[in-house]
Amino acid sequence: MDFELPEPQRAFQESVRRFAEAHLAKGALARAHDPHFPWDVAKLMADQGLFGLMLAEADGGAGGTLLDAVLAIEAIAMVCPRSADVFQAGNFGAFRTLAEYATPEQKARCFGPLLRGEAIAAVAMTEPDAGSALTDLASRCTPDGEGFRLNGGKLFTSNTEDAAIFLVYCRFGPGTDGIGSVIVERGMQGFRLGQPSRYMNGEDWCALYFDDVFIPPGNVLLKEGGFRRQIAGFNVERTGNAARARALGEYCFAAAREHAATRRQFGRKLMEFQGLQWKFSEMRVALDAAQLLLYRAAVRADRGLPDAQDVAIAKYACNQAGWLAANEAMQVMGGTGYSQDLLIEYCVRKTRGWMIAGGSLEMMKNRIAEGVFGRAFSQRPGK
């Protein structure tokens, strides 16, 4: 076992860090306070070849590993936290699920604009009565000629206002086995967005409404029976969620360390106070442990999809570590940390959201317990 990165990956990580320092450091604060998607960053990343890192070369990607993508998103997040969301959209999430399951025709249609940084794809799963209990989703596809008619709606879809493509989880029949997914494109007849609402992290989302939207056969990604494969793809999204959460904690840790090493109170540097030293010790342990679990999930996946148990453990650890470090960094930095002149308070708000998004901490613990005992635990009341 070797805890050092191989030279090519270390060099790649360093090149992404240099790119981020050169192009993303300036403007990082303004980007964090802008509710809209930073398209200028998407263009820069596309030109740098940072989209489609895990996409097969035959499909226009770089054919890299999940660890490559994790190293890159960490390097970006530690320079410009908001830009890491752009990298996420061009590599993880709906992008990666499409890479895994889309037909050659769907790939040819979707990946051009996504790889050029001209469009993004969103994942639409959550519904009013199907949050953690995702398999209760009610959005439904019914056959119509060669295709289907989609009816229903979604909540909380990230990047709603900017996405061109929506990967919509929907039902073709009853039960978990009846769930699949379709590609809904902006502008399709019967598809509309509700009024924007704002998350605590400053980003907007809109409800999605599907009113008899015609889904041609070419827009079906996975039919009934596809749910487990979809969630297998979604584990990559969770890995990106985990990587960003931990990296934002690392960003705050570095800022707080610098602050504690220079700021003086009572005639001493803050780092002289043991009460603050111990915060740094706890942050360091949590961040390092989470990173090891994250890298384990990524390394084991290599070019495939990560193991669900590995990801649940990594996401849980990274979400907790990211939040702990951001929150404690804010405490160490006092009013300076709480102020919007720095990115610490933004990182607190962002890391808090990831404890809910992409499968809450509680749902991750439910999944981990299933792995521990080697059996499923139904969350539903007994019949």
- Angle, CA 16 vertex, CA 236 and CA 75 arms, to 5°: 60
Is residue 357 part of the contact set for ligand FAD (CB under 6 A)? yes
| CA 215 – CA 220 distance, rounded (Å) | 7
Q: Closest separation between CB of residue 365 and ligand FAD, Å?
A: 8
| CA 259 – CA 187 distance, rounded (Å) | 49
For 22, counting Cβ atoms within 10 Å of its Cβ (0-12 exposed, 13-18 middle, 19+ buried), the class is exposed
Scored b (16 or more CB within 10 A) or e, 247-269 reads: bbbbbbbebbbebbeeeeeeeee
Is residue 199 part of the contact set for ligand FAD (CB under 6 A)? yes
Q: Closest separation between CB of residue 205 and ligand FAD, Å?
A: 7
Query: Which residue, judged by CB position, is nearest to ligand FAD in the bound state?
Result: 131
Q: For residue 73, which of 194, 228, 244 has the smallest C-alpha distance?
A: 244
Amino acid code (one letter) for 28: A
Q: Closest separation between CB of residue 23 and ligand FAD, Å?
A: 26
Q: Closest separation between CB of residue 207 and ligand FAD, Å?
A: 11
Closer of 125 and 170 to ligand FAD (Cβ)? 125
Amino acid code (one letter) for 269: K
Strands (E), the chain: 121-124, 140-144, 147-154, 165-171, 179-185, 191-193, 197-198, 204-205, 208-215, 220-222, 264-265, 268-269
Q: Closest separation between CB of residue 291 and ligand FAD, Å?
A: 22
| CA 50 – CA 38 distance, rounded (Å) | 15
Beta bridge pairs of residue 124: 168
Binding mask 83-122 for ligand FAD (x = CB under 6 A): ---------------------------------------x
Is residue 265 part of the contact set for ligand FAD (CB under 6 A)? no
Closer of 193 and 271 to ligand FAD (Cβ)? 193
Is residue 132 part of the contact set for ligand FAD (CB under 6 A)? yes
Answer for which of 151, 360, 370, 371 binds ligand FAD (CB under 6 A) is 360
Answer for which of 45, 66, 79, 125 binds ligand FAD (CB under 6 A) is 125
Binding mask 232-261 for ligand FAD (x = CB under 6 A): ------------------------------
Closer of 65 and 201 to ligand FAD (Cβ)? 201
CB atoms within 10 A of CB 176: 14
User: What is the binding site for ligand FAD (CB under 6 A)?
Assistant: 122-126, 131-132, 156-158, 199, 201, 353, 356-357, 360, 362-363, 366, 379
